């Protein structure tokens, strides 16, 4: 038992890095040790829980690999409503994707309903899986709906007394999505009688990015080592890559880049491509296209040329040959993601060229094969002059990409992070979403919780992502929410969509924490339909992951839905950004680390006030990058929302918010509230003892106990810091020798 008492949650102290692999090795080491802590914890917990509740009938532990695809057996009365479902399945083609769809349907029905579907072509009592064209041939009388690519149709019907259940789409992939949708309904006990359900994805491109390194580490990965690479090579056993593709397909993801955006040029070596092909083969049955991050300097770095100037014909030829070579081996290759001129990555600026020059040279090589370039807008100078009050990293993406609007080829997508800085706990939507109306664009969201608790703390990000997606840019003073811009639904751009930085790893539950998987699920669901509410998404996830017990569903949903605000409360209220260890692990509280360096994540707190003045009148002018109606809202203190106040304005600590509180009192209060809310997570989880399987109950409980302590460390560090800076006491008299207390707590735990 002693071991458990002394267990102190995840290890701390990862080094800051943007790309250095020696530091990445440290990240890997740390995350593996952390996983080890949890691997040990359940043993002690199992003993303790067994002793205290040994006689309760608990739900059985289930596979973590399956995540939300557990297909737990329904009890007899819930299963009854599905008695009318067909007993056979017929697939109208034998493509690998349709075979996966058939297999998944058989497996899901068998596990949930205890029935074995037989393969067969008896029209009377059959699931029919196929494309619309095939369906038309099979049942000429069937009235087919209009479906855009990859949309699906679920239809329970009868013609001339013959009963059938159609799962159709215009593509094989869409049929697979339809099967997953049906199985999800059954897992959630939704009725499927007389179903007539047609859905099409909101955006054509729904990709995840993995930031895996060839040595097997993952940049900003908290779920163990890479599922693709180990020791500089592709892993021999790629079963997990296939399992991952299945999970991705179940939420409609159709592309995956497998390597770090700080790309290692060796990924394009001739002898590496056959290895990559093996991963593409593992993805293919699930309709997931493989893509690569590339280093723009590759033509030179690989030793083939003495330049990587995108306008040099030799360079264009090099990319063409390389791309042809890839397609020869991977005919359904998706394309490239490019990080250039950013945090030390080589880029077109070396030759005085623009991102459009760089993107287009690669895009032209890919075009004949149907491949795409996602060119990241995360381009900025990380050696800014911190003493220059007009300098502002937030301005960089718009300053660089807006003037190039319309100059990118039509198979290039500008991949824009949700906010103008870097995945902070709260940022406004990037103004660049409204700044490239003649260019394809996509939104980049971070599923891996780099700045939001690193999967050691609960932070369900769907509510945050929805705020950005729903944010109205008011272009031309008309409703133009970000979701429509990134999906190419306005300005008639052919492509657009979503990229989610996922960073799953070898840990049994993929992201290193079972509850963090809601973020991966939620990302896929939003990419499919950003109009779904956060409540709907989490309810779907909880029911599929933990079952339909109302107490479990209600409790976990509530915990997840409040978790972002809780985390924001104690780490970065009022839009300060996360007051974390910017030059270190992006996790611990370290508010001074943001200042006096060139990284530009400044909060400008001094003895008199706090916040970045980004106004047009007196500040950096960043607000001027938004369309006029949005400018107006943020520029004025009267209309700027409290939760972004310090992102846009520098104000005295005594400034009174719309809520009536002063800024300083709000900061004190939100930290105390946040720490209380974090403590409440422990109590909430404890109500589920005996309602979720023992293994996951035991796994999750110490995570919340740890989070409750971390929230106190954050609270006391920040309150103490800001009290010393401002000299203004907490009206409630709570701030006393806080940092000493935080240090004691750490020592004691």
Show which residues are catalytic. Answer: 343, 422, 450
The answer to the question of residue 219 lying near ligand GCU (CB under 6 A) is yes
**Quick one: tokens of 375?**
């060119």
Least separation in angstroms between residue 339's CB and ligand GCU is 5
Nearest to ligand GCU of 111, 220 (CB atom):
220
Distance CA 177, CA 102 (A): 12
Q: How far is CA 392 from the centre of its chain?
A: 26
Report if residue 220 touches ligand GCU, rule: CB under 6 A. Answer: yes
To ligand GCU, the closest distance from the beta carbon of 18 in angstroms equals: 5
Residues in contact with ligand GCU, counted by CB under 6 A, come to a total of 10
Nearer to ligand GCU, 28 or 339 (CB): 339
Contact between residue 363 and residue 391 where contact means Cβ atoms under 8 Å apart:
no
- Minimum separation from the CB atom of position 501 to ligand GCU (A): 7
According to the binding rule CB under 6 A, does residue 261 interact with ligand GCU? yes
Distance CA 521, CA 509 (A): 13
- Contact between 264 and ligand GCU by CB under 6 A: the answer reads no
- Binding mask of the shown chain, residues 353 to 382, with x at each position contacting ligand GCU by CB under 6 A: -------------------------x----
CA distance 129 to 132: 9
* Sign of the Cα pseudo-torsion (558, 563, 569, 573, in order): negative
Does position 425 interact with ligand GCU (CB under 6 A)? The reply is no
Q: Return the ∠ at Cα 337 (arms to 331 and 341), rounded to 5°.
A: 145
For ligand GCU, the closer of residues 262 and 563 by Cβ is: 262
Instruction: Compose the 311-340 pattern: x for residues touching ligand GCU by CB under 6 A, - for all others.
Output: ----------------------------x-
| CA–CA separation, 670 and 573 (whole Å) | 7
The residues pairing with 337 across neighbouring beta strands, listed in sequence order, are: 293, 374
CB of 252 to ligand GCU, least distance (A): 24
**Distance in Å, CB of 363 to ligand GCU, minimum:** 20
| Minimum distance, C-beta of residue 346 to ligand GCU, in the bound complex (Å) | 14
Closest among 379, 369, 374, 299 to 332, alpha carbons compared: 369
Neighbours of 275 (CB within 10 A): 17
Kindly state whether residue 454 participates in binding ligand GCU, applying the rule CB under 6 A.
Answer: no
Contact call for residue 422 and ligand GCU (CB under 6 A)? yes
Question: Token pair for residue 471?
Answer: 């944010």
Cβ-based nearer residue to ligand GCU, 494 or 598: 598
Cβ of residue 482: shortest distance to ligand GCU, in angstroms?
A: 19
If the CB atoms of residues 170 and 601 are measured against ligand GCU, the closer one turns out to be: 601
Q: Which is nearer to ligand GCU, 522 or 600 (CB)?
A: 600
3-state secondary structure of 440: strand
The mark string for 1-30 relative to ligand GCU (x by CB under 6 A, - otherwise) is: -----------------x------------
- Cα–Cα dist 741/505, whole Å: 36
The residue among 343 and 705 lying less far from ligand GCU, judged by its C-beta, is 343
Long-range Cβ contact pairs of 531-540 (< 8 A, separation 24 or more): 531/202, 531/483, 533/466, 534/460, 534/462, 534/463, 534/466, 534/561, 535/561, 537/462, 538/460, 538/462, 540/184, 540/188
User: If we measure between CA atoms, which residue out of 111, 252, 227 comes closest to residue 508?
Assistant: 227
Q: 330 vs 377, which CB is nearer to ligand GCU?
A: 377
HSE-up (13 A, CA, CB side) for residue 502: 30
Q: Does 449 bind ligand GCU (CB under 6 A)?
A: no
Q: From the list 262, 424, 519, 662, which residue makes contact with ligand GCU (rule: CB under 6 A)?
A: 262
Distance CA 286, CA 583 (A): 40
Structure tokens at 220: 């900003």
CB of 297 to ligand GCU, least distance (A): 16
| Residues engaged in binding ligand GCU (CB under 6 A) | 18, 219-220, 261-262, 339, 343, 378, 422, 450
């Amino acid at each position: 038992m002693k071991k458990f008492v002394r267990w102190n949650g995840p290890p701390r102290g990862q080094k800051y890095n943007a790309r250095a692999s020696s530091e990445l090795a440290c990240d890997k080491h740390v995350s593996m040790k952390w996983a080890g802590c949890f691997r040990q914890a359940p043993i002690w917990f199992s003993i303790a829980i067994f002793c205290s509740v040994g006689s309760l009938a608990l739900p059985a532990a289930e596979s973590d690999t399956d995540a939300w695809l557990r297909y737990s057996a329904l009890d007899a009365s819930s299963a009854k409503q599905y008695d009318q479902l067909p007993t056979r399945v017929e697939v109208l083609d034998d493509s690998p994707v349709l075979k996966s769809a058939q297999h998944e349907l058989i497996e899901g029905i068998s596990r949930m309903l205890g029935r074995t579907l037989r393969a067969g072509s008896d029209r009377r009592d059959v699931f029919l899986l196929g494309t619309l064209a095939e369906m038309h041939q099979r049942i000429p009388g069937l009235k087919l709906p209009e479906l855009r690519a990859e949309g699906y149709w679920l239809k329970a019907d009868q013609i001339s007394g013959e009963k059938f259940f159609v799962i159709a789409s215009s593509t094989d992939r869409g049929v697979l999505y339809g099967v997953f949708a049906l199985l999800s309904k059954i897992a959630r006990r939704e009725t499927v009688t007389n179903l007539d359900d047609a859905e099409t994805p909101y955006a054509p491109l729904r990709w995840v990015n993995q930031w895996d390194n060839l040595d097997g580490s993952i940049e900003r990965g908290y779920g163990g080592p890479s599922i693709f690479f180990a020791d500089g090579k592709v892993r021999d056993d790629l079963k997990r890559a296939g399992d991952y593709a299945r999970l991705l397909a179940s939420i409609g993801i159709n592309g995956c880049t497998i390597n770090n955006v700080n790309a290692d040029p060796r990924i394009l070596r001739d002898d590496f491509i056959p290895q990559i092909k093996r991963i593409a083969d593992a993805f293919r049955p699930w309709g997931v296209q493989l893509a690569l991050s590339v280093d723009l300097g590759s033509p030179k770095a690989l030793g083939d040329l003495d330049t990587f100037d995108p306008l040099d014909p030799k360079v264009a030829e090099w990319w063409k040959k390389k791309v042809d070579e890839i397609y020869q081996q991977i005919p359904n290759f998706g394309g490239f993601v490019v990080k250039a001129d950013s945090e030390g990555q080589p880029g077109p600026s070396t030759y005085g060229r623009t991102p459009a020059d760089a993107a287009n040279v690669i895009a032209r090589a890919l075009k004949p094969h149907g491949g795409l370039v996602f060119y990241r807008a995360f381009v900025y100078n990380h050696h800014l002059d911190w003493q220059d009050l007009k300098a502002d990293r937030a301005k960089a993406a718009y300053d660089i990409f807006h003037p190039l609007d319309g100059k990118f080829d039509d198979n290039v997508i500008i991949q824009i992070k949700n906010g103008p800085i870097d995945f902070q706990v709260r940022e406004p939507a990037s103004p660049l979403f409204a700044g490239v109306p003649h260019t394809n664009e996509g939104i980049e969201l971070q599923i891996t919780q780099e700045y939001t608790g690193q999967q050691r703390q609960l932070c369900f990000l769907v509510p945050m992502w929805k705020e950005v997606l729903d944010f109205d840019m008011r272009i031309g003073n008309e409703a133009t929410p970000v979701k429509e811009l990134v999906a190419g639904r306005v300005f008639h751009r052919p492509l657009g969509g979503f990229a989610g930085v996922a960073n799953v790893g070898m840990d049994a539950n993929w992201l290193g924490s079972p509850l963090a998987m809601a973020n991966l699920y939620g990302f896929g669901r939003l990419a499919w339909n950003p109009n779904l509410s956060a409540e709907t998404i989490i309810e779907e996830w909880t029911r599929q992951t933990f079952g339909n017990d109302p107490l479990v569903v209600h409790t976990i949903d509530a915990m997840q839905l409040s978790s972002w605000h809780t985390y924001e409360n104690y780490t970065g209220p009022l839009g300060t950004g996360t007051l974390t260890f910017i030059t270190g692990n992006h996790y611990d509280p370290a508010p001074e680390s943001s200042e006096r360096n060139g990284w530009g994540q400044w909060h400008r707190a001094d003895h008199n006030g706090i916040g970045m003045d980004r106004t047009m009148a007196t500040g950096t002018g960043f607000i001027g990058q938004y369309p006029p109606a949005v400018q107006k809202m943020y520029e004025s203190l009267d209309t700027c929302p409290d939760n972004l106040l310090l992102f846009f304005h520098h104000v005295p600590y005594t400034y009174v918010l719309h809520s009536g509180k002063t800024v300083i009192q709000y900061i004190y209060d939100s930290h105390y509230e946040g720490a209380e809310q974090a403590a409440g997570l422990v109590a909430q989880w404890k109500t589920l003892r005996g309602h979720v399987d023992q293994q996951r109950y035991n796994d999750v409980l110490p995570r919340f106990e740890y989070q409750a302590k971390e929230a106190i460390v954050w609270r006391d560090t920040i309150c103490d810091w800001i009290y010393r800076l401002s000299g203004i006491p907490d009206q409630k008299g709570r701030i006393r020798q806080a940092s000493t207390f935080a240090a004691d707590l750490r020592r004691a735990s």
